[in-house]
Amino acid sequence: MTRPPRQMRLSARHVAYLQPDEIFEALPAPPPGMREASQEDHQATIASLFEGPDHHDETWVFAYGSLIWKPACDYIEMRTGLLHGWHRAFCLGWNTRFRGSEENPGLMLALDRGGSCKGALYRLPPDRRDECLVKLFEREMGWVPTAFPPRWVTVRTGERVIRALTFCIDRNSGRYVSGLSEAEIADVLASATGTRGSMAEYLHATVDHLEQMGIHDPHLWRLQHLVAERIEAAYEADR
């Protein structure tokens, strides 16, 4: 019997306090030292990922964050899977455009080394593989050099082991953030807002969809509670 999703403390009510006046999906100007990625960049990435004879007809993508609730491209099959050797972490910073600002920069999810991670596996249509991957890379790697390049990983789903593409943090990147406590991360997520919405919205959507899939991430669960607590203190203390 499937367990019903847990009741989150962080809710749409909390998220509404931090909604920007307008949402802009367009890519803003890149930060210093970066440039907007070109179609040639994306095609070169695809070529490097698929060079050599070691590739099957199926192409899978492992999603662990926003790709779970907002896939970047079409897919023909979805499964849940377990990835060993990597864990979901708010380690990609500092975001001053999409879900943060110069005053309150945001932290995004990426996969960092160690532990394990449960997420979603999407199988791409084989006749449109490159088209789908370009859409995916435009979303996840709009600027170069990227701080979390795509790589092949091995994901277990049921009795099957699947080779899948995912995005892992480059610890040598200047955007890699580590060593923050959960309280410090919650402080960031409870205040950062950018052109595509707030970090609270990002966290809420991720935890909500994971729970609906039967995936409980204890770290994110604690964070959503802490973020709701902070938003209530900031916006509802006088009520």
Euclidean distance between CA atoms 224 and 220, whole angstroms: 6
In this prediction, residue 49 carries a pLDDT of 94
In this prediction, residue 21 carries a pLDDT of 65
Residue 79 tokens, joined: 């499964």
Domains of the chain (ranges, CATH numbers) = 32-235 (3.10.490.10)
Q: Give the CA angle between residues 162, 119, 160 to the nearest 5°.
A: 25
pLDDT band at 101 (very low <50, low <70, confident <90, very high): confident
In this prediction, residue 119 carries a pLDDT of 98
H or E element in which residue 81 lies: strand 77-95
In this prediction, residue 90 carries a pLDDT of 98
In this prediction, residue 12 carries a pLDDT of 96
Least confident stretch, 20-29, 186-195, 201-210: 20-29
Contacts of 31 (CB under 8 A, 6+ apart): 96, 97, 143
pLDDT band at 5 (very low <50, low <70, confident <90, very high): confident
In this prediction, residue 200 carries a pLDDT of 98
Least confident stretch, 135-149, 199-213, 220-234: 135-149
Q: What percent of the chain has pLDDT over 70?
A: 93
In this prediction, residue 102 carries a pLDDT of 87
Question: What value does the mean pLDDT take over residues 41-64?
Answer: 88
Question: What value does the mean pLDDT take over residues 118-125?
Answer: 97
Residue type, 3: R
Q: What residues are labeled active site?
A: 140
In this prediction, residue 32 carries a pLDDT of 80
Are 227 and 233 a contacting pair, CB within 8 Å? no
Euclidean distance between CA atoms 138 and 41, whole angstroms: 10
Question: What value does the mean pLDDT take over residues 189-209?
Answer: 95
In this prediction, residue 224 carries a pLDDT of 98
Q: What percent of the chain has pLDDT over 90?
A: 76
Q: Is pLDDT at 92 greater than 60 in this prediction?
A: yes
For residue 97, CA distances in Å to 71, 82, 94, 225 come to 20, 31, 9, 25
Euclidean distance between CA atoms 171 and 121, whole angstroms: 24
Are 176 and 147 a contacting pair, CB within 8 Å? yes
Average pLDDT of the chain to the nearest whole number = 92
Question: What value does the mean pLDDT take over residues 20-38?
Answer: 76
Question: What value does the mean pLDDT take over residues 59-86?
Answer: 96
Summarised one tens digit per residue, pLDDT across range 107-120 is 999 999 999 999 99
Q: Is pLDDT at 2 greater than 90 in this prediction?
A: no
Buried-state track 112-143, b at ≥16 Cβ within 10 A, e below 16: beeeebbbbbbbbeeeebeebbbbbbbebbeb
